[in-house]
Structures are given as structure tokens and as C-alpha cells.
């Protein structure tokens, strides 16, 4: 049976499709990835499937288990908090570099997004809109930072934490706080205050971790 989603006529990038499905939670942790089923779904040979699975294993998204084969990795609380120690530092650095590299007024549209559209979204409990807005911020900041190595590290972390980030935003009070925090970060970026933007982004990551620690039994 194929993993749901893509017609094999589309000839998609197998690794990229699986990466997105895993990071977005469409394929749950602990799920076995069967080579024959994937080969049939995507219209490729098993060697191509094994190549894609090896790449996903290097990214830490799957693991090989005796007598089971490839299984989607499970992220427990202890591992997540270790990741967040690194995540905080890298996200802060990214905000600083982006602020230093970009014209302050280039952030005006993000400010408008977070001040108006996302404010209304949070008031109506549209957490998916807030998540997408934060994703827009993240992509813009990574691009402006202009550091491919940093972007690669963050992509690897984000693959492992995207589902958790979504869950965190629906915790009591977190959406409202995250909105305020991102407004402050963007305000610092528009003012050209690179180190203040870094400090505020690191603070945002720390408060996200605090929510995870407080509500971890509902998240994991």
C-alpha cells in the first residue's frame, strides 16, 4: 500500500516529498517505510528508494531498525530540549545577520502582516495562519542572512521540529505571546538594531521551550 499523496505520474522528487510528509506529520513517528510500496507509488526502482531513505537517515528523519527496516524517527522531550538549545542560538544569529544585511524598510510588509492580518487570525484562533506567517518570517530572515551553512543547519532542525512548533502554537496563551514576540523582533529589525533582534529572537525561542516544558504531556 502506498503512502498517501502523490501520483506516480508526476515523477516527484522522492526524497523531498518524503521529507515534507515526515516533517509536517503526515507520516507519523514510528511508521515503517516499505521500499516496495514507495517504489510502486513513485514509479521508481527500489535502488532509488533506498537512496532516498539513506538521505533521510542522514538528516535524522528515519532510522534503521533490526527486522523492521526504515522507520520514521521518534523525537522525545529530552532530545527536543537538546535541539532547542542549538535552535535558540542559530535562530538568534539568523535574525542578527538578516538585520545587518537588509535594508530596514524591507521588513515593512512583515510588520504589516504581523500587526494586522495575524492579529486578526490569533483573535479568531486561526493558528494555522499564524504558523504560516511565522514560516514566512523564517524564510525571509534565512534568505536575508545570506549564510548557506546556517540555512542548512536550520533546515535540518526545522525538519525535526515542525510538527512540535505547530502543536506549541495551540497551547494556552502561546499564540498571543508568539505574536507579540515576533512583532517586537520585526520592530527591532526595522530599526536596524541587529543585536536587539538577536536577543529578542533568542527570548522567543526560550519562551517556546518553556511552554513545551510546561505542557509536554500534551505535546508528546
What is the residue-level pLDDT of the chain in tens, covering all 220 positions? 445 444 444 446 898 899 889 888 888 888 999 999 999 999 999 999 999 999 898 888 889 988 888 999 888 889 899 999 999 999 999 999 999 999 999 999 999 999 999 999 999 999 999 999 999 999 999 999 999 999 999 999 999 998 899 889 999 999 999 999 999 999 999 999 999 999 999 999 999 999 999 998 887 7
Shared domain for 53 and 143, answered yes or no, is no
pTM score, whole prediction: 0.80
Is residue 1 in a domain?
Answer: no
Is residue 114 in a domain?
Answer: yes
Sequence-separated (6 or more) residues with CB below 8 Å from residue 184? 200
Instruction: Tell me how far apart the alpha carbons of residues 17 and 78 are, in angstroms, rounded to a whole number.
Output: 28
Instruction: Tell me how far apart the alpha carbons of residues 183 and 22 are, in angstroms, rounded to a whole number.
Output: 30
Counted domains in the chain? 2
Shared domain for 61 and 89, answered yes or no, is no
Instruction: State how beta strands 62-65 and 69-72 pair.
Output: antiparallel
Shared domain for 60 and 90, answered yes or no, is no
Domain ranges, residue 101: 77-219
Shared domain for 62 and 89, answered yes or no, is no
Instruction: Tell me how far apart the alpha carbons of residues 194 and 196 are, in angstroms, rounded to a whole number.
Output: 5
Picking from 29, 48, 72, the residue at the C-terminal end of a domain is 72
- Encode 37-76: b = buried (16+ Cβ within 10 Å), e = exposed: ebbebbebeeebbeebbebbeebebbeeeeeeebebbebe
Is residue 2 in a domain?
Answer: no
Instruction: Tell me how far apart the alpha carbons of residues 57 and 154 are, in angstroms, rounded to a whole number.
Output: 17
Picking from 27, 57, 72, the residue at the C-terminal end of a domain is 72
Shared domain for 109 and 145, answered yes or no, is yes
Quote the DSSP letter at residue 113. Answer: I
Is residue 57 in a domain?
Answer: yes
What pLDDT score was predicted for residue 135?
95
Instruction: Tell me how far apart the alpha carbons of residues 102 and 110 are, in angstroms, rounded to a whole number.
Output: 13
Summarised one tens digit per residue, pLDDT across range 108-159 is: 999 999 999 999 999 999 999 999 999 999 999 999 999 999 999 999 999 9
Shared domain for 118 and 187, answered yes or no, is yes
What's the maximum distance between 2 C-alpha atoms anywhere in the chain? 57
Shared domain for 179 and 89, answered yes or no, is yes
Picking from 39, 72, 105, the residue at the C-terminal end of a domain is 72
Instruction: State how far the alpha carbon of 119 is from the alpha carbons of 48, 64, 93, 133, 175, in Å.
Output: 45, 44, 26, 11, 10
Amino acid at each position: 500500500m502506498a503512502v498517501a499523496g502523490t501520483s506516480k505520474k508526476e515523477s516527484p522528487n522522492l526524497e523531498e516529498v518524503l521529507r515534507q510528509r515526515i516533517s509536517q506529520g503526515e507520516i507519523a513517528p514510528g511508521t515503517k517505510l516499505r521500499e516496495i510500496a514507495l517504489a510502486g507509488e513513485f514509479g521508481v526502482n527500489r535502488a532509488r528508494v533506498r537512496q532516498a531513505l539513506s538521505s533521510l537517515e542522514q538528516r535524522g528523519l528515519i532510522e534503521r531498525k533490526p527486522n523492521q527496516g526504515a522507520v520514521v524517527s521518534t523525537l522525545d522531550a529530552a532530545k527536543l530540549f537538546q535541539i532547542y538549545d542549538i535552535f535558540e542560538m542559530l535562530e538568534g544569529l539568523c535574525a542578527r545577520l538578516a538585520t545587518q544585511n537588509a535594508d530596514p524598510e524591507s521588513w515593512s510588509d512583515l510588520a504589516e502582516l504581523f500587526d494586522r492580518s495575524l492579529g486578526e487570525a490569533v483573535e479568531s484562533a486561526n493558528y494555522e495562519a499564524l504558523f504560516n506567517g511565522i514560516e514566512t518570517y523564517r524564510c525571509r530572515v534565512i534568505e536575508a542572512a545570506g549564510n548557506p551553512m546556517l540555512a542548512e543547519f536550520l533546515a535540518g532542525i526545522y525538519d525535526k521540529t515542525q510538527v512540535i512548533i505547530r502543536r506549541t502554537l495551540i497551547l494556552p496563551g502561546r499564540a498571543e505571546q508568539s505574536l507579540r514576540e515576533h512583532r517586537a523582533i520585526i520592530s527591532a529589525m526595522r530599526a536596524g538594531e541587529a543585536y536587539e533582534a538577536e536577543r529578542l529572537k533568542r527570548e522567543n525561542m526560550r519562551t517556546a521551550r518553556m511552554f513545551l516544558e510546561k505542557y509536554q504531556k500534551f505535546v508528546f
